[in-house]
Amino acid sequence: MSYEELLTELAVNDERYIVMTAENRALIRNLPAKLGSRFVDTGITEQTMVGAAAGLALRGRIPVLHALASFLSMRAFEFVRTDAGIPNLPVKLSAFIPGFLSDGNGATHQAIEDVAIMRGIPNVTVFAAADEQDLVGMIETIWNSPNPAYLRINTRKTDYQHTPFEIGKAEVISEGADVTILTYGLLFEQALIATQILKDQGLNVGLLNMRSLKPVDEQAILKVAASSKLLVTLEDHFNTGGLYSIVAETLLKHGQSARVMPYGLDKWFKPALLPEVLAYEGFTGKQIAEKILGYTTNAIQPTIATPEFAE
């Protein structure tokens, strides 16, 4: 099932749903015909869309908003914070092409601080999907929750079968005494590759899909901090304010210590098509594994298909 199919099913059968967009229709092409007046395209007006969503939520609706992650989280930031965050209204943000998924667009379209700024707003919950199956498995729970929610959309397909989603819980893929990779979103795909390479090199490797970033699974973080010699926070996000910060805050809060390798970004990335971006910035599974090992392996990096441009 795709994002659009599930959204259609939920929205058609529940009058509370209003599907909104600031002219970003890539994932909701067929919704206007299905929903009629409950599909609202405000044009390229992210701020007005979020304000209007708050008004709709005041009247008992569940608005689901679609725009590029950079414009939804940053252009409309104060509207999210003031109109959805302060009154704790169930405004649901679906953020397209977060992180590396903006490939050749350039810095204007790179949402790599979105987790930091969205989780900084009280009441706003933050999630990221590892792939399409993970996405489809989480949205009903997120949209049924009473809080505003920011969701990093990722519709890439992987073969991985995810376990059922729960707000505030990490998905434990594997456990390992030598190293544990904590990641979310697009890089889950690369983390799986890296994990396999590390296992082939004889390491005992754990992997967590941190799909609920706020609330975060503190117990899962504390557990791997105690049982693993090294933690790696892998993210297509600035190290400031993202998962590295979340792990640091959690350890500090509970008076626990750990060796943590931050594996995120410190500046905007080089714009190009996704496979080239990953290789240039050092985020292919093979590069991740080699950086963790500290030496070069003979492992083969699987080819990554060039994504369809889906701004």
Q: Using the rule CB under 8 A, which residue among 1, 12, 252, 273 binds another protein?
A: 273
Q: What is the DSSP string of 73-140?
A: IIITHHHIIIIIITTT---EEEEES-GGGGGGG-GGG--SSHHHHHHTSTT-EEEE-SSHHHHHHHHH
Are 183 and 243 spatial neighbours (Cβ–Cβ below 8 Å)? yes
- φ/ψ (deg, to 5) at 52: -65, -35
User: Which is it for strands 92-96 and 62-68: parallel, antiparallel or unpaired?
Assistant: parallel
Among the residue ranges 67-75, 191-199, 225-233, 237-245, the one whose residues contact another protein (CB under 8 A): 67-75
CB of 44 to another protein, least distance (A): 4
Near another protein by CB under 8 A, which window of 68-76, 131-139, 183-191, 212-220?
68-76
Identify the residue among 38, 75, 214, 286 touching another protein (CB under 8 A): 75
Alpha helices in the chain (DSSP H): 3-13, 31-35, 46-58, 69-70, 77-79, 114-119, 132-144, 188-200, 218-227, 243-253, 274-281, 285-293
Q: Which of 76, 136, 277, 289 binds another protein (CB under 8 A)?
A: 277
Give the footprint of another protein on residues 76-135 (CB under 8 A).
104-109
Q: What are phi and psi of 28, to 5 degrees?
A: -135, 35
Pick the stretch among 117-125, 153-161, 163-171, 265-273 that binds another protein (CB under 8 A): 265-273
Q: Which stretch binds another protein (CB under 8 A): 6-14, 53-61, 167-175, 276-284?
A: 276-284
| 186-195 exposure pattern, b = at least 16 Cβ within 10 A, e = fewer | bbbbbbbbbb
Looking at the Cβ atoms of 104 and 293, the one nearer to another protein is 104
Name residues contacting another protein, limited to 3-42 (CB under 8 A).
23-26, 29, 41-42
Determine, following the binding rule CB under 8 A, whether residue 301 of this chain makes contact with another protein. no
CB nearer to another protein: pick between 43 and 168: 43
Is residue 211 a contact partner of residue 138, using CB atoms and an 8 Å limit?
Answer: yes
6, 86, 222, 310: residue in contact with another protein (rule CB under 8 A):
310
Identified binder of another protein from the candidate list 47, 158, 240, 301, rule CB under 8 A:
47
Examine residue 267 and tell whether it contacts another protein (CB under 8 A): no
* Of 70 and 228, CB closest to another protein: 70
> How far is residue 88 from each of residues 60, 84, 91, 100, 121, measured CA to CA in Å?
13, 6, 8, 30, 10
DSSP 9-24: HHHHH-TTEEEEESS-
Q: How far is the CB of 25 from another protein (least distance, A)?
A: 5
Token pair of 297 as six digits: 């392996």
CA triple 179-154-53, angle to 5 deg: 125
CB of 265 to another protein, least distance (A): 15
Which of 280, 282, 296, 305 is in the footprint of another protein by CB under 8 A? 280
Least Å distance between CB 242 and another protein? 21
Cβ of residue 74: shortest distance to another protein, in angstroms?
8
62-68 and 17-21 beta bridge pairing = parallel
User: In the bound complex, what is the minimum distance in angstroms from residue 112's beta carbon to another protein?
Assistant: 14
Number of residues that bind another protein (CB under 8 A): 33
Element (H, E) at 234: strand 230-238
- Give the residues lining the site for another protein (CB under 8 A): 23-26, 29, 41-45, 47-48, 70-71, 75, 104-109, 270-273, 276-277, 280, 306, 308-311
